[in-house]
Amino acid sequence: MHVFEGESKVTTYTISTSRNPPSCVQDSNGTPDGLHRIAEKIGEDAPLGMVFKAREPTGDFYWDLSGENLITTRILWLEGLEPGHNRGGDRDSKRRFIYIHGTNHEDRLGHPQSGGCVNMSNTDVIDLFNTVETGTLVWIDLE
């Protein structure tokens, strides 16, 4: 993932996207491509490693749990901006709950692993969360 200010790249993060092919369609578990914006920022005061369910902190930390790919530390909820592609109907990124978020599987970053979200390390997602504002544009190109 590259972060730009104007035309200048300011930082790069290692991420993971879907283990399924890219897709904007509901229930595909694919990461949607195209133009998005950050609709909501969730978890500002949560400690590193906090697990979220339904965008609420659970009180659990990922190192105390095992198994599935968990939503951890921070959530940047994405809203598609391209009607008929990633916005509206069965192709709506926000209704699909597509996030940029921390993961308990940091060792798998750089390889497809998610169920459609963009996964980051927990320290990187805090850094990104503190850098961007609600409304920041996000371009997802998975080619």
Residue 39 lies in a domain: yes
Is the residue at 136 inside a domain? yes
Checking if the pLDDT of 76 tops 90, the result is yes
Residue 143 has pLDDT above 80, yes or no: no
Does residue 113 sit within a domain?
yes
Residue 44 counted as domain residue: yes
CA dist., res. 62 & res. 69, Å (int): 10
Question: Can you tell me the distance from the alpha carbon of 98 to that of 116, in angstroms, rounded to the nearest whole number?
Answer: 7
d(CA 6, CA 24): 27
Question: How many domains is the chain partitioned into structurally?
Answer: 1
Percent of the chain, pLDDT > 90? Answer: 95
On whether residue 60 sits in a domain, the answer given is yes
Domain range for 67: 15-140
Q: Is residue 3 part of a domain?
A: no
CATH number of residue 77's parent domain: 2.40.440
- What is the amino acid identity at position 80? G
In a domain, 65, yes or no: yes
pLDDT tens track for 105-119? 999 999 999 999 999
Residue 68: per-residue pLDDT: 86
The answer on pLDDT for 32 being more than 90 is yes
State the sign of the Cα–Cα–Cα–Cα dihedral 2, 134, 118, 90.
negative
- Please indicate, yes or no, if residue 125 is contained in any of the structural domains: yes
pTM: 0.95
Contact (Cβ atoms closer than 8 angstroms) between residue 103 and residue 70: yes
103 sits in which H/E element: none
